[in-house]
Structure 1
Amino acid sequence: METLSGVERMRIVGGDLALDYVNTRSGPPDGPPDDDVLHGYEDVVAWASYVGMLTGSEAARLGRQASTEPDEAQAVFRRALRVRDDLDALFRAAPAGGRPSARHLGRLRDDTAEAVAHARLVPAEGGYRWRWTEPRDLGRPLWPVVHAATELLTAGPLDRIKACAGCRFLFVDESKNRSRRWCSMDDCGTAAKIRRYVARRAASQRHALITKRV
């Protein structure tokens, strides 16, 4: 299935559900994104299943419902993209030392209020957790995302949110000395090492050529 293959090629490296949702768009560290795994409501459901927010049966149920309510599914998809834009603006301000806009904060407040209206507190190990009810509501995949975003804004650690030096991904730097620069050493970090190696090798070859000529 094309949708699943697109979502499954994603790297889950944000360290927070809200940041992983922002990272459904990729691209260079500066400039606009150049790739997106979300092209329709079915992709939102596939992503939610991929990151563990939905069970397989829940995802299948929402997929069937979307096929019978295409207009509503399209409306939820437009909202999903708007939510992602808002979270991108909110959390991209943190690494730059800026303050999020009141407009984005206000919309997140409203989105979170809607999400919590569809949740209930249930006992969990050491306390309680939210459980999202009404699994037949097409907005279900967005509720945990906006709630996670509010938790990250209110409880942090905002000062550990960083933008990758090699791509546009955001992540929570959990290293002890806060020295992490890459969303993943296996991808952007390795690519940077290769670029440095190639540059050093090219410089060495140029130096050897100049020395030989002299």
Structure 2
Amino acid sequence: METADDVTRMRLVGGNLALDFVNTRSGPPDGPPDDDVLTTYASLVDWGRHAGALTEPEAAALHRVADGDPDYARDALARALETRDYLDDLFRPLAAGQSPDPAALIRLRDDAADALAHARLVSAGPTFDWTWRDDHTLARPLRPIVQAAVRLLATGPLDRIKGCGGCRFLFHDESKNRSRRWCSMDDCGTTEKMRRYVAARRTRSTHAG
């Protein structure tokens, strides 16, 4: 079983909650993912707390509901994984400069409508924003994720949605000159620099010989 420590090892580098949710599966930039931290409903809740989508009290309440109804929890996890699949079908093509799957847009529209049906508008400083404090269903972790996806699609800029050059992670490039290439310079960026360094040394050694 995944533990909270397993879930919180996932780096939050997407710059958007929906992209970070897609990034709960990791692996090489091409081909299928090779790691998934969302294997139980508990791991979904723990990730939501880690990503700031749930408060500690909300997460604790969801754990109690899930523990009391395992079948409900399994169904809720299955729905969450389906949501992640269609968000991937939306944002991965956009990162490649292509059009997203129309069926995924329809799924997002329907889930956004369902999320708003469970939301309240509350004061958030100078403006108002949606909250799901009163939503005690096991779909609660998905509400802000869906809302974040809609906001990103509606406000963009969509050409700032990119895929990492070293892994399958997606991110919203917020650099001034739109030059970001890696999910993280500390991980994929460093790995690529090391690869180039080794290749350059090998080339110099070959020429010297």
Q: TM-score range by the shorter chain?
A: over 0.9
Counterpart check, 1:37 vs 2:37? yes
Instruction: Indicate if the aligned counterparts of 1:18 and 1:149 stay in contact, CA closer than 8 A.
Output: yes
- Residue 171 of structure 2 aligns to a residue in which SS? strand
- For the residues of structure 1 that align with 2:2 and 2:40, how far apart are their CA atoms? 12
What does residue 76 of structure 2 align with?
76
Q: How far does residue 133 in structure 1 lie from its aligned partner after superposition?
A: 3.3
- For the residues of structure 2 that align with 1:2 and 1:90, how far apart are their CA atoms? 27
What does residue 110 of structure 1 align with?
110
What does residue 198 of structure 2 align with?
198
Instruction: Indicate if the aligned counterparts of 2:73 and 2:138 stay in contact, CA closer than 8 A.
Output: yes
Instruction: Indicate if the aligned counterparts of 1:90 and 1:101 stay in contact, CA closer than 8 A.
Output: yes
1:30-79 CA distance string (max 9 Å, x none): 11101111001111100001011111121111111101111111111000
Mapping for residues 86-165 of structure 1, pairs under 5 Å: 86-165=86-165
Instruction: Indicate if the aligned counterparts of 2:2 and 2:39 stay in contact, CA closer than 8 A.
Output: no
- Residue 130 of structure 1 aligns to a residue in which SS? strand
Distance change >3 Å, CA 74–CA 2, structure 1 → 2: closer
- Residue 94 of structure 1 aligns to a residue in which SS? helix
Mapping for residues 180-191 of structure 1, pairs under 5 Å: 180-191=180-191
Q: How far does residue 26 in structure 1 lie from its aligned partner after superposition?
A: 0.5
Q: How far does residue 5 in structure 1 lie from its aligned partner after superposition?
A: 1.6
- For the residues of structure 2 that align with 1:203 and 1:133, how far apart are their CA atoms? 59
Q: Under a length normalisation based on structure 2, what TM-score does the superposition of the two structures give? A: 0.97
Q: How far does residue 177 in structure 1 lie from its aligned partner after superposition?
A: 1.1
Q: How far does residue 137 in structure 1 lie from its aligned partner after superposition?
A: 1.1
Instruction: Indicate if the aligned counterparts of 1:95 and 1:163 stay in contact, CA closer than 8 A.
Output: yes
Instruction: Indicate if the aligned counterparts of 1:3 and 1:43 stay in contact, CA closer than 8 A.
Output: yes
Percent of paired sites with the same residue: 61
RMSD over aligned Cα atoms: 1.2
Q: How far does residue 154 in structure 1 lie from its aligned partner after superposition?
A: 1.2
- Residue 94 of structure 2 aligns to a residue in which SS? coil
- For the residues of structure 2 that align with 1:104 and 1:2, how far apart are their CA atoms? 28
Q: How far does residue 2 in structure 1 lie from its aligned partner after superposition?
A: 4.2
Instruction: Indicate if the aligned counterparts of 2:94 and 2:158 stay in contact, CA closer than 8 A.
Output: yes
- For the residues of structure 2 that align with 1:74 and 1:134, how far apart are their CA atoms? 22
- Letter of the aligned partner of 1:189 in structure 2? G
- For the residues of structure 1 that align with 2:205 and 2:97, how far apart are their CA atoms? 41
Q: How far does residue 135 in structure 1 lie from its aligned partner after superposition?
A: 3.8
Instruction: Indicate if the aligned counterparts of 2:2 and 2:37 stay in contact, CA closer than 8 A.
Output: no
Distance change >3 Å, CA 14–CA 39, structure 1 → 2: same
Instruction: Indicate if the aligned counterparts of 1:29 and 1:165 stay in contact, CA closer than 8 A.
Output: yes
Q: How far does residue 6 in structure 1 lie from its aligned partner after superposition?
A: 1.3
1:57-116 CA distance string (max 9 Å, x none): 211111111011111111110000000000001001112221112211111111011111
Instruction: Indicate if the aligned counterparts of 1:86 and 1:104 stay in contact, CA closer than 8 A.
Output: yes
- Residue 140 of structure 1 aligns to a residue in which SS? coil
- Residue 29 of structure 2 aligns to a residue in which SS? coil
- For the residues of structure 1 that align with 2:2 and 2:152, how far apart are their CA atoms? 32
Q: Structure 1: 5+ residue runs without aligned partners?
A: none
Count of residue pairs brought into register by the alignment: 209
What does residue 4 of structure 1 align with?
4
